[in-house]
Structure 1
Amino acid sequence: MPKILRLTLFKIPNPAHVQEAIAKYATLPNDAVKDGKPYIQMAAANHAHDDPRNKGYTLVARTVFASKEDMDFYDNECAAHGEIKATLKAKVVDGPPLVLYMDA
């Protein structure tokens, strides 16, 4: 079964809120647990370069999962992901983030 690489793009206008999100993603591999063990293989977020082609997206988060099932757990049951969503919900503008995922 291939690993899953997931990219999540956010439109967060305030640079301080972008930095807050980057800090949350930095600790995600340790904070996110499934069956009592960390399950996210890699997580990081970075500020997008200011460029007209980015269509207003200011933050790109990358996560790597061992399987699609782990990604589904992250979306539906992970408490650490729930904290990120709660933290960013009021800070993201122009609808929900764009999520893309593919086999790694």
Structure 2
Amino acid sequence: MPKIVRLTLFKIPDPAHVQEAVQKYSTLSQDAVKDGKQYIQMAAANPTHDDPRSKGYTLVARTVFDNKEDMDYYDNECAAHAGIKATLRSKVVDGPPLTLYMDA
């Protein structure tokens, strides 16, 4: 079964808040646990380049999971992800983030 690669694009206007999100994602794969074990294969976030093609998105988070079930756990039950969502909720503008996922 192929791994799942997930990209989440955020519109966060304040560069300080973008850096805060980058920091949160830098420890996500260690902080997120499922059944007492780390389950995220890779997590990172980076600011986008200031370019009209970015359409206002200022941050891209990339997470890699072993399978879709792990990604679903991340969305619905993961305390570390809930913490990131709580931190970013008031900082994101123009609706919810855009999330895409695909087989690796």
TM-score (normalised: structure 2): 1.00
Counterpart for residue 56 of structure 1: 56
SS of 1:85's equivalent in the other structure is helix
Correspondences of 1:75-94 after superposition (within 5 Å):
75-94=75-94
CA distance in 2, matches of 1:77, 1:48: 28
Query: After superposition, what is the alpha-carbon deviation per residue over 1:35-91, rounded to whole angstroms, capped at 9, x for unaligned?
Result: 000000000000000000110000000000000000000000000000000000000
Q: Offset at 1:95?
A: 0.3
Q: Offset at 1:92?
A: 0.1
CA distance in 2, matches of 1:76, 1:26: 21
Counterpart for residue 17 of structure 2: 17
Unmatched segments (≥5 aa) in structure 1:
none
Unmatched segments (≥5 aa) in structure 2:
none
The residue type equivalent to 2:103 in the other structure is D
CA distance in 2, matches of 1:39, 1:30: 9
Q: Offset at 1:4?
A: 0.1
The residue type equivalent to 2:41 in the other structure is Q
Moved over 6 A (4+): none
Q: Offset at 1:5?
A: 0.2
Matched-pair identity in %: 82
SS of 1:91's equivalent in the other structure is coil
2:85 pairs with 1:96: no
SS of 1:92's equivalent in the other structure is coil
CA distance in 2, matches of 1:16, 1:83: 18
Aligned residues: 104
